A and B are shown apart, each in its own frame.
Chain A
Amino acid sequence: MLVDDLAVIRNMLKRQLIVLGADGQIDEAEDGLQAWNLLQERSYGLIIADIAMPHIDGLELQRRVRHSSQHRDIPILLISGEVSEQTVAADLQSKLDDFLTKPFTTETFEMRLWKMLKQE
């Protein structure tokens, strides 16, 4: 599932996933709340979410997923253009599945995804 308040970014990420060979259903949500509602209906193999979003942001979505007995094992890749990876790591002091700062190349995106999915 792709979670970002901007359709253009969801489209860009979707394209990258398809280029990388994603062949399953890719659902989209405009914010963390919509994503959380979708999670009440079905599960996902991977969530890619922006951090800065209205209603429920990416960090809160991640917290909810991690506290959910049903969804806690879903890998989550958090994306942001506003904070560095070091800032997030230092601020959170918690387990981040993975984190990517925009801009990133398709190669970096692919490497992160492989790393995350391999850990599963």
Chain B
Amino acid sequence: MNVEFVNPFLSATLRVLETMASVEARPGKPFLKKEGGAQGDVSGIIGITGPTNGSMSLSFSRKCILKIVAGMLGEEMAEITDDIKDAVGELTNMISGDARNELGQKGYQFQIALPTVITGLNHEIRHKCNAPTIAIPFDTDAGPFVVEVSFEN
């Protein structure tokens, strides 16, 4: 996988959370993901096509996504409702769209599909291709989340 494709997703994640939710996220060290299980309580995944095909996912811990959506709406959130799931879909959309624009500026024209949101303990994220998955862990004051990017070689 072209590592040049990973950084735009990292910077898009920081930008979207800062501007839409006033949440500061701190990226950790990316690692190669070996198993399918998600590392959060609610996840969004989106397919990406273009010079190569792949997908991106976001997996939030419960506490983290409640804080992020509270930041978007300006009101406290207590549980994972349909609004929270919609917000995860929209964040997945915005982050992939923002990364897509950055990749476009580098000469890589990608299209993005519609996001899917998954919830439940230990749910599985299936990326659109069998290529290696790069996971980027993030930390926030309200808990962790993980961004995964997977593209065919």
Interface residues, chain A, with chain B CB atoms under 8 Å away: 6-9, 11-12, 15, 19, 80-84, 101-105
Contact = CB atoms under 8 A, between A and B. Distances in A.
A102 B73 contact: no
A6 B90 contact: yes
Contacts of A9: 86, 90
B19 A8 contact: no
Interface in B1-43: 15-16, 19-20
Interface string B68-88: 010011100000000110110
Interface stretch (B49-57, B92-100, B122-130): B92-100
B19 to A, nearest CB: 4
A12 B72 CA distance: 6
14 contacts: A6-B89, A8-B83, A8-B84, A9-B86, A12-B20, A12-B73, A15-B73, A81-B90, A81-B93, A82-B93, A82-B97, A83-B97, A102-B20, A104-B19
Interface of B: 15-16, 19-20, 69, 72-74, 83-84, 86-87, 89-90, 93-94, 97-98, 101, 104, 112
A57 B74 CA distance: 27
Contacts of A101: 97, 101
B97 A81 contact: yes
B98 A7 contact: no
B115 to A, nearest CB: 10
A107 to B, nearest CB: 10
Contacts, number: 52
Among the interface residues A8, A15, A82, which one has the most CB atoms of the partner chain B within 10 A?
Answer: A8
B91 to A, nearest CB: 9
A8 B86 contact: yes
Contacts of A12: 20, 72-73
Contact of B74 (A6, A7, A15, A104): A15
A15 B101 CA distance: 27
Among the interface residues A15, A81, A104, which one has the most CB atoms of the partner chain B within 10 A?
Answer: A81
B15 A8 contact: no
